[in-house]
Amino acid sequence: MRKLPTPRPASRPQSQATGTGSAVRSTARTTPVKPANTVHIAVLAFDGCMASSVTGPMELCAVANTLLDLTTPGSGARFTTQVITTDGRSVTCGQGVTLSSSRLKRTPDVVIIPGIWQASARGSFREIGTTLATEAHLLRKLHEQDVLIAAICS
């Protein structure tokens, strides 16, 4: 299985106080920041999935990117996210929320499978293997390419 790029610790300015008595001088040194590898994450949406299982990971990645930019300005985004479906069409989540999506643009580092809303139009859990056959085929193909596969909730 392919490993995710290893995060590099952010370089922070180092402050030191020098001087004698009440005269204190502060100097700051900064170490150049090496660009970090970007982790490309795809969330595989489908009709009947839980919207929060799709948008939650995307928002967490956006927060992580923002915090990284605040602590290490100019370091660039560490995470990119994309909502994908097998056919590129929008999906209707379990509570009626519609999400836009696209086909997979590139091989991701991680694919996240969202939770399934039990009372969705997808029917019972026994039927899921049949109704999500195309998604299962895509996941098998990505697994063969050493893509990390994660799941949220059910």
> Which residues contact residue 141 at a Cβ distance below 8 angstroms, ignoring those fewer than 6 apart?
none
Average pLDDT of the residues in 72-78: 88
pLDDT tens-digit series, residues 58-67: 999 999 999 9
Global pTM value: 0.72
What pLDDT shows up at residue 116? 85
pLDDT tens-digit series, residues 76-113: 889 999 999 999 999 999 889 999 999 998 999 999 99
pLDDT tens-digit series, residues 113-131: 999 876 544 556 667 777 8
What pLDDT shows up at residue 44? 97
**Could you write out the DSSP letters of every residue in 35-102?**
PPPPEEEEEE--TTB-HHHHHHHHHHHHHHHHHHHHHSTT---SEEEEEE-SSS--EE-TTS-EE--B
Reported confidence tier of residue 68, pLDDT bands at 50, 70, 90? very high
**CA distance to 44, 55, 104, 121, per residue, from 138 (Å):** 10, 21, 10, 21
Q: Are 91 and 24 in contact (CB under 8 A)?
A: no
What pLDDT shows up at residue 65? 95
What pLDDT shows up at residue 125? 64
pLDDT tens-digit series, residues 24-35: 444 444 444 544
What pLDDT shows up at residue 141? 96
What pLDDT shows up at residue 6? 55
Q: Are 52 and 43 in contact (CB under 8 A)?
A: no
Reported confidence tier of residue 12, pLDDT bands at 50, 70, 90? very low
